[in-house]
Amino acid sequence: MRGGRSIAERAGSRPLRRAAAVLIAAVALLTGLLVAGPSASAADLPYGPYTCAAGYVWREAYTGDQICVTSAIRTQTATENTLGPSRREPNGGAYGPDTCKQGYVWRATRPSDHVCVPPASRDQAYSDNASAPYRLVDPGATPRGGVSVTTSYIYSTGGYLYATGSGLTPNGTVRFYAVRINTTGPLSLNSLTADASGRLTDWQPVAFLACRTGLTEPAIIVVLDQGTGLVTTAGTTDAFRHCG
Type of residue numbered 75: T
Cα 114 to Cα 218: distance, rounded to the nearest angstrom: 41
**The predicted structure's pLDDT at residue 4:** 52
Contact 182, 213 (CB under 8 A): no
Span 168-174, mean pLDDT?
98
**Mean predicted lDDT score pLDDT of the chain:** 86
**The predicted structure's pLDDT at residue 88:** 97
pLDDT digits (tens, 9 = 90+) for 196-208: 999 999 999 999 9
From 17-21, 54-58, 88-92, the region with the lowest mean pLDDT: 17-21
CATH of 14-40+139-241, one of 2.40.30.10, 3.90.226.10, 2.60.40.10, 3.40.190.10: 2.60.40.10
**The predicted structure's pLDDT at residue 2:** 39
pLDDT digits (tens, 9 = 90+) for 118-158: 999 999 999 999 999 999 999 999 999 999 999 999 888 99
Span 82-87, mean pLDDT?
97
**The predicted structure's pLDDT at residue 216:** 87
Beta bridge partners of 210: 158
Type of residue numbered 174: V
Span 27-41, mean pLDDT?
41
pLDDT digits (tens, 9 = 90+) for 94-107: 999 999 999 999 99
**The predicted structure's pLDDT at residue 86:** 97
Nearest to 142 by CA among 48, 68, 54: 48
**The predicted structure's pLDDT at residue 32:** 36
Residues 6+ positions from 104 with CB-CB distance below 8 Å: 87, 116, 117, 118
Most confident of 108-117, 181-190, 212-221: 108-117
Instruction: Give 143 or 37, the one with higher predicted confidence.
Output: 143
pLDDT digits (tens, 9 = 90+) for 152-169: 998 889 999 999 999 999
**The predicted structure's pLDDT at residue 22:** 41
Confidence of residue 33 (pLDDT cuts 50, 70, 90): very low
Nearest to 59 by CA among 45, 69, 46, 44: 69
**CA 64 from centre of chain:** 15
Residues 6+ positions from 201 with CB-CB distance below 8 Å: 21, 164, 195
Span 205-232, mean pLDDT?
95
| HEC readout, the chain | CCCCCCHHHHCCCHHHHHHHHHHHHHHHHHHCCCCCCCCCCCCCCCCCCCCECCCCEECCCCCCCCCEECHHHHHHHHHHHHHHHHHECCCCECCECCCECCCCEECCCCCCCCCEECHHHHHHHHHHHHCHHHHECCHHHCCECCEEEEEEEECCCEEEEEEEECCCCCCCEEEEEEECCCCCCCEEEEEEECCCCCCEEEEEEEEEEECCCCCCCCEEEEEEECCCCEEEEEEEECHHHCCC
**The predicted structure's pLDDT at residue 77:** 98
For residue 103, what are the CA distances in angstroms to 16, 74, 99, 110, 118?
48, 22, 11, 20, 7
From 45-49, 56-60, 69-73, the region with the lowest mean pLDDT: 45-49
| Domain boundary assignment for the chain | 14-40+139-241
